[in-house]
């Protein structure tokens, strides 16, 4: 026997609110992935390095995997409860939350239209900017129209054509976006290798700074790194700074002259590979390298202000 007892208003609110939240995450994830696709294939020379977009995709991928299926399940459950009259078409909770969704989508559309005019007046309405605004406008409009038609219906048809059409668009779009994202984002193995190399470069930067301070004070270079490590308070190198590299990624140091030295390390990726997925290129520019063992020779000298600086030779 089918249970036709109306759902408590709190349960109805929970279903609609969770549906709204999952829809928001799904729409954001799809938009973010499409933004990254546009960023990659429609570059704009006036904009800064866009590598940040590919790293942020990991959040969008995770959001899409979790929230898209949950949204579809919730939406179908809501329609099932409406069809069985456990949620009334005249439910105030349903109407309030549906109009909240319409309000949010309307605000986004208004914002996009304003953005189009502002970017046009500022000379930034390039193909890339236009495509990004078009993505936001399309997603927001689809959500707006669906909720408007859904809230205005007066009966419950056997086949909800609106729901079928909406699912036919959302589900394939989510799947396609997810496939695109996996082609854009770095693999877990590459991400791990990049983090190891970034720690290696960070440690090398600490050592380089410690050597400059040592030379500034003593006008000489230490014979080994242990000298720096044992006098951390004085030379800003602490024992834990050397623990960021495992036994397979040892950093070696060789004193060549009183003001020249070589520092070597093993890298899993080239600096160019790291630049592709890293917005901050400070370390990769300081230590440009290929995958494998790389050595950097520096000569220390005083700048016009008397501070010690390193010049790569």
| Among candidate residues 78, 68, 245, the one with its CA nearest the CA of residue 151 | 78
pLDDT in tens, the chain (313 residues): 455 688 888 888 898 899 889 988 898 888 888 888 888 788 776 665 555 555 567 888 888 899 989 988 888 888 888 888 888 888 888 888 888 888 988 888 888 888 878 877 877 777 888 888 888 888 888 888 888 887 887 776 666 666 777 777 778 888 888 888 877 777 888 888 888 898 889 888 888 888 888 888 888 888 888 777 766 566 656 656 665 555 566 788 898 988 899 999 999 999 988 887 777 788 888 899 999 999 999 988 877 666 666 777 7
The CA-atom distances, in angstroms, between 166 and each of 13, 34, 161 are 22, 19, 8
Tell me what pLDDT residue 264 has.
92
Tell me what pLDDT residue 1 has.
42
Tell me what pLDDT residue 297 has.
92
Burial of residue 44 (number of CB atoms within 10 Å: 0-12, 13-18, 19+) = middle
Element (H, E) at 106: helix 92-121
> Which bin fits 260, alpha (ψ -120 to 50), beta or left (φ > 0)?
beta
Element (H, E) at 234: helix 232-235
What whole-number distance in Å separates Cα of residue 297 and Cα of residue 313? 5
What whole-number distance in Å separates Cα of residue 68 and Cα of residue 21? 11
Burial of residue 172 (number of CB atoms within 10 Å: 0-12, 13-18, 19+) = exposed
| Among candidate residues 164, 181, 163, 147, the one with its CA nearest the CA of residue 64 | 181
CA atoms within 13 A on the CB side of 72: 17
């Amino acid at each position: 026997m089918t249970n036709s007892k109306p759902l408590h208003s709190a349960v109805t609110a929970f279903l609609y609110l969770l549906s709204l939240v999952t829809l928001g995450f799904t729409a954001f994830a799809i938009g973010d992935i499409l933004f990254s696709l546009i960023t990659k294939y429609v570059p704009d020379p006036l904009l800064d390095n866009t590598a940040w977009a590919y790293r942020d995709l990991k959040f969008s991928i995770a959001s899409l995997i979790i929230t898209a299926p949950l949204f579809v399940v919730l939406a179908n459950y809501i329609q099932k409860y409406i069809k069985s009259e456990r949620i009334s078409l005249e439910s105030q909770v349903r109407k309030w939350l549906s109009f909240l969704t319409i309000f949010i989508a309307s605000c986004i559309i208004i914002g996009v239209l304003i953005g189009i005019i502002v970017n046009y007046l500022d000379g930034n309405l390039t193909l890339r900017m236009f495509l990004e605004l078009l993505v936001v406008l399309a997603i927001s409009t689809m959500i707006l129209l669906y909720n408007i038609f859904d809230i205005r219906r007066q009966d419950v048809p056997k086949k909800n054509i609106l729901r079928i059409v909406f699912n036919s668009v959302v589900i394939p779009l989510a799947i396609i976006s997810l496939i695109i994202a996996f082609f854009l984002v770095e693999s877990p193995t590459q991400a791990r290798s990049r983090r190891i190399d970034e720690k290696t470069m960070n440690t090398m930067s600490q050592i380089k700074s410690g050597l400059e301070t040592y030379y500034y004070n003593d006008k000489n270079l230490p014979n080994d790194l242990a000298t720096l490590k044992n006098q951390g308070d004085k030379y800003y190198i602490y024992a834990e700074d050397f623990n960021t590299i495992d036994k397979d990624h040892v950093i070696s140091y060789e004193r060549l002259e009183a003001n020249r030295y070589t520092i070597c390390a093993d890298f899993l990726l080239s600096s160019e590979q790291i630049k592709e997925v890293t917005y901050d290129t400070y370390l990769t520019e300081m230590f440009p390298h290929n995958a494998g063992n790389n050595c950097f020779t520096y000569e220390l000298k005083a700048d016009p202000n008397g501070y010690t600086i390193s010049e790569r030779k």
